[in-house]
Amino acid sequence: MSDLELETNPTLDLVNALQVGNFNSAEELFNDILGDKVQQSLDAEKVAVADQIFNGIDPVEMEMEDEEVDAILDNEVEEEEFTAEVE
């Protein structure tokens, strides 16, 4: 393999695993995706707390309604499906 690695799309891999019935792989992919999202949230919160403690920056409340989250996720899935169709 060359120095340039192919970028994978974990969400698309999850959907593909579910479509072919590979549920063990789908479970691992789901857990990896969920773990990455949790880690990203924790990292963002660490930065916000550090800013608040050391820089005196007030925390920003970011509450989202369920409908907003659903719209964002639907948009991401549509983009991934379009990208998969183009390839």
15-54 tens-digit pLDDT: 999 999 999 999 999 999 999 999 999 999 999 888 888 8
Residue 72 lies in a domain: yes
Whether residue 26 is contained in a domain is answered as: yes
- pTM comes to 0.55
Overall domain count for the chain:
1
Query: Is 27 within a domain?
Result: yes
Can you give the pLDDT at residue 81?
Answer: 59
Residue 3 lies in a domain: no
Query: Domain for residue 81, yes or no?
Result: yes
In a domain, 16, yes or no: yes
Q: 12-16, 53-57, 60-64, 78-82: which has the minimum mean pLDDT?
A: 78-82
- Does some domain include residue 5? no
Average of pLDDT values for 56-74? 75
φ and ψ at residue 77, rounded to 5 degrees: -65, -40
CA distance 52 to 79: 35
What is the domain extent for residue 48?
10-86
Contact present, 49 and 57 (Cβ < 8 Å): no
> How many CA within 13 A on the CB side of residue 84?
14
Pairwise CA distance, residues 9 & 2, whole Å: 19
DSSP-derived secondary structure letter, 3 = S
